[in-house]
Amino acid sequence: MTWRPRLAEGTAPALVFLLLLLIGLAIVGPAYSEPAGYLALLKRAAPLMILAIGQYFVIVSGGFDLSVGALVTAGVVIAARLIGGNESATAWVILLVLGFGLLVGLINGLVTTKLLVPSFIVTLGMLLVLDGATFLWTGGAPRGALSDGFRMFGRGNADVPVLGEVPWSVLILLSILVAAVLFMRGGTGRALVAVGDNEATVRMSGGQVDRLRLLAFTLSGLLAAVAAILLGGFAGVSAQVGNGLEFRAITAVVLGGVLLGGGRGSVVAAAAGALSLEALFTLLNLLGVSGALKSAVQGVIIIVAVAYASLGGGVRQRLRLWPKPRDSVQTAQPASS
Amino acid sequence: MSTLQENTLPAKQKATRATVHRRLHPTVIVYLALVALLVVGSVLVGLRGEVLLDQNGILNILTRATALGLVAIGQTMVILTGSLDLSVAYLVGLTSLIAAETMAGQDSMVLPGVLLALAVAAGVGLVNGLIITVLKAHAFIATLGVALILRGYLENNYTGPAGDVPRGFQHLGYDRIGPVPIAALLMLAVAALCWWYLTRTRPGYHMYAVGGDIEVARLSGVRTRRTIITAHVLCSVAAGFAGIYLASRLGSGAPYVGTDAGYDLESIAAVVLGGTLLAGGRGGIAGTIGGVLILATLDTTFDALEVDPFFKDVVRGVVLVTAVALYARRMVANRAHGRLS
Amino acid sequence: MTTGTTTSVRLTGITKSFLGVPVLRGVDLELRGGEVHAVMGENGAGKSTLLKVLAGVHRPDGGTIEVDGGEVSFAGPSDAQRAGIAIIHQEFTLLPHRSVAENVYLGREPVRRMQVDRRRMVADTRELLDWLGEDGIDPTDPVSSLSVAQRQVVEIVKALSTDARVLGMDEPTAALADHEVELLYDLVRRLRERGIAILYVSHRMREVFDLSDRITVLKDGQFVTCAPTSELTSEDLVRHMVGRDLGEYYPDRGVADDLGPVRLALRGAGNARVRDLNLEVRAGEIVGLAGLQGSGRSAVARAVFGVEPFTRGSMEVDGVARRVTRPRSAVRLGVALVTEDRKGDGLALRQSVRDNTLLVRRAALRGGRARAKSDVPALLDKVAVVARGEHQEVRFLSGGNQQKVVLAKWLAVEPTVLLVDEPTRGIDVGAKRAVHELLRDLAKRGVAVLMISSELPELIGMSDRILVMHDGALAGELPAGASEGAVMALATGHGVGEVP
ipTM rounded to 2 decimals: 0.85
Whether residue C62 is contained in a domain is answered as yes
Q: What is the pLDDT of residue A125?
A: 94
DSSP class of residue B178 equals: T
Say yes or no for a CB contact (<8 Å) between C341 and B221: no
Q: Which of C217, C242, C267 is the last residue of a domain?
A: C242
Least confident range from C84-88, C170-174, C377-381: namely: C170-174
Number of domains in chain C: 2
From chain B, the residues in CB contact with A217 under 8 A are none
Is residue C95 within 8 A of residue C145, CB to CB? The reply is: no
Q: What is the pLDDT of residue B20?
A: 44
B10, pLDDT greater than 60: no
Say yes or no for a CB contact (<8 Å) between A132 and B312: yes
Would you call C344 an interface residue with chain B, using a CB distance cutoff of 8 Å?
Answer: yes
Q: What is the pLDDT of residue C372?
A: 80
| Domain spans in chain B, listed from the N-terminal domain onward | 22-340
Distance separating alpha carbons of residues A126 and A105, to the nearest angstrom = 10
- Strands C417-421, C335-338: pairing kind: parallel
Q: What is the pLDDT of residue C178?
A: 67
From chain A, the residues in CB contact with B268 under 8 A are 124
Do C319 and C455 lie in a common domain? yes
Q: Which of C242, C275, C290 is the last residue of a domain?
A: C242
Do C226 and C280 lie in a common domain? no
B275, pLDDT greater than 50: yes
Q: CA of C83, closest CA in chain B: separation in Å?
A: 13
- What are the b/e assignments for B127-158, b being 16+ CB within 10 Å? bbbebbbeeebbbbbbbbbbbbbbbbbbbeeb
Say yes or no for a CB contact (<8 Å) between C106 and B209: yes
Distance separating alpha carbons of residues A93 and A98, to the nearest angstrom = 8
Which residues are C262's β-sheet partners?
Answer: C282
Q: CA of A321, closest CA in chain B: separation in Å?
A: 22
What CATH code is carried by the domain that includes residue C207? 3.40.50.300
From chain A, the residues in CB contact with C377 under 8 A are 329
Do C296 and C330 lie in a common domain? yes
From chain A, the residues in CB contact with B135 under 8 A are 303, 306-307, 310-311
Would you call C294 an interface residue with chain B, using a CB distance cutoff of 8 Å?
Answer: yes
Whether residue C61 is contained in a domain is answered as yes
Residue C323 has a CB neighbour count (10 Å cut-off) of 10
Distance separating alpha carbons of residues A180 and A172, to the nearest angstrom = 12
**Distance of alpha carbon C164 from the chain centroid:** 26
Residue B22 CB burial class (10 angstroms; 0-12, 13-18, ≥19): exposed
Whether residue C74 is contained in a domain is answered as yes
B2, pLDDT greater than 50: no
Say yes or no for a CB contact (<8 Å) between A66 and B265: yes
Whether residue C249 is contained in a domain is answered as no
B57, pLDDT greater than 70: yes
Q: What is the pLDDT of residue C285?
A: 93
Q: Give Cβ neighbours of residue A297 (< 8 Å, ≥ 6 apart).
A: A280, A284, A289, B152
Q: CA of B299, closest CA in chain A: separation in Å?
A: 13
Packed helices A68-83 and A209-235: angle between N→C axes, nearest 10 degrees:
50
Do C273 and C180 lie in a common domain? no
What is B22-340's CATH number, 1.10.3470, 2.40.160, 2.60.40, 1.10.8?
A: 1.10.3470
Do C176 and C315 lie in a common domain? no
Q: Give Cβ neighbours of residue C77 (< 8 Å, ≥ 6 apart).
A: B218, B219, B220, B221, C55, C56, C57, C107
B326, pLDDT greater than 80: yes
Name the 3-class secondary structure at C479: strand
What is A11-315's CATH number, 1.10.3470, 3.40.50, 3.20.20, 3.90.420?
A: 1.10.3470
- Least CB–CB distance from C294: residue in B6, B208, B209: B6
From chain C, the residues in CB contact with B340 under 8 A are 272
Say yes or no for a CB contact (<8 Å) between B155 and A295: yes
Query: What dihedral angle (degrees, nearest 10) is formed by the CA atoms of C277, C175, C443, C460?
Result: 80
Whether residue C40 is contained in a domain is answered as yes
At residue C117, what is the residue type?
D
Q: Which of C192, C210, C242 is the last residue of a domain?
A: C242
Whether residue C220 is contained in a domain is answered as yes
Q: Give Cβ neighbours of residue C189 (< 8 Å, ≥ 6 apart).
A: C211
pLDDT mean over C471-499: 78
Average pLDDT, chain B: 88
pLDDT in tens, C82-109: 888 888 876 668 898 899 999 999 988 9
The domain of C479 spans 256-491
Do C228 and C286 lie in a common domain? no
Say yes or no for a CB contact (<8 Å) between B149 and A296: yes
Which ranges of chain A have pLDDT less than 70? 1-9, 312-337
Give the DSSP H/E element, type plus range, for residue C10: strand C9-18
DSSP string covering C296-334? SHHHHHHHHTTSS---EEEEEETTEEE---SHHHHHHTT
Say yes or no for a CB contact (<8 Å) between B137 and A307: yes
- Least CB–CB distance from A296: residue in B141, B152, B329: B152
- Higher-confidence residue of C204 and C101: namely C101
Say yes or no for a CB contact (<8 Å) between B147 and A299: yes
Residue B305 CB burial class (10 angstroms; 0-12, 13-18, ≥19): middle
Would you call B221 an interface residue with chain C, using a CB distance cutoff of 8 Å?
Answer: yes
Distance separating alpha carbons of residues C224 and C219, to the nearest angstrom = 6
Q: Which chains touch B (3 or more CB pairs under 8 A)?
A: A, C
C497, pLDDT greater than 80: no
DSSP string covering B148-177? HHHHHHHHHH-SS-B----HHHHHHHH-EE
> Rg of chain B's alpha carbons, rounded to an integer?
21
C471, pLDDT greater than 80: yes
Give the nearest chain A residue to B331 (CA atoms).
A116
φ, ψ for residue C232 (rounded to 5)? -115, 150
Q: What is the pLDDT of residue B24?
A: 62
- Higher-confidence residue of C43 and A261: namely A261
State the best of A61, A201, A208 to mutate against chain C, taking most chain C CBs within 10 Å. A201
Interface of A with C (CB under 8 A): 1, 6, 186-188, 190-191, 193-194, 197-198, 200-208, 263-264, 314, 317-318, 320-324, 327-335, 337
Distance separating alpha carbons of residues C361 and B37, to the nearest angstrom = 51
CA angle A70–A73–A76, rounded 5-degree value? 150
Say yes or no for a CB contact (<8 Å) between C381 and A324: no
Q: What is the pLDDT of residue A8?
A: 66
- Higher-confidence residue of B20 and C449: namely C449
Least confident range from C105-119, C143-157, C289-303, C312-326: namely: C143-157
At residue C26, what is the residue type?
G
From chain B, the residues in CB contact with C107 under 8 A are 206, 209, 217, 220-222
Handedness of CA C394, C22, A257, B142 (dihedral sign): negative
DSSP class of residue C251 equals: P
C354, pLDDT greater than 60: yes
Distance separating alpha carbons of residues B167 and A293, to the nearest angstrom = 34
Distance separating alpha carbons of residues A100 and A68, to the nearest angstrom = 12
Distance separating alpha carbons of residues A82 and A96, to the nearest angstrom = 10
Q: What is the pLDDT of residue C177?
A: 66
% helix, strand, coil for chain C, step of 5: 35, 25, 40
pLDDT in tens, B85-118: 999 999 999 999 999 999 999 999 999 999 999 9
From chain B, the residues in CB contact with C158 under 8 A are 220
Say yes or no for a CB contact (<8 Å) between A206 and C396: no
Interface A-C: count of C-beta contacts within 8 A: 141
Q: What is the pLDDT of residue B13?
A: 40
Between positions 3 and 62 of B, the ones with CB within 8 A of C are 3-11, 14-15, 17-18, 21
Do C86 and C219 lie in a common domain? yes
Say yes or no for a CB contact (<8 Å) between B1 and C147: no
Q: What is the pLDDT of residue C43?
A: 60
Give the DSSP H/E element, type plus range, for residue B95: helix B88-103
From chain B, the residues in CB contact with A136 under 8 A are 308, 310-311, 314
Do C481 and C384 lie in a common domain? yes
Distance separating alpha carbons of residues C274 and C270, to the nearest angstrom = 5
CA angle C296–C300–C303, rounded 5-degree value? 125
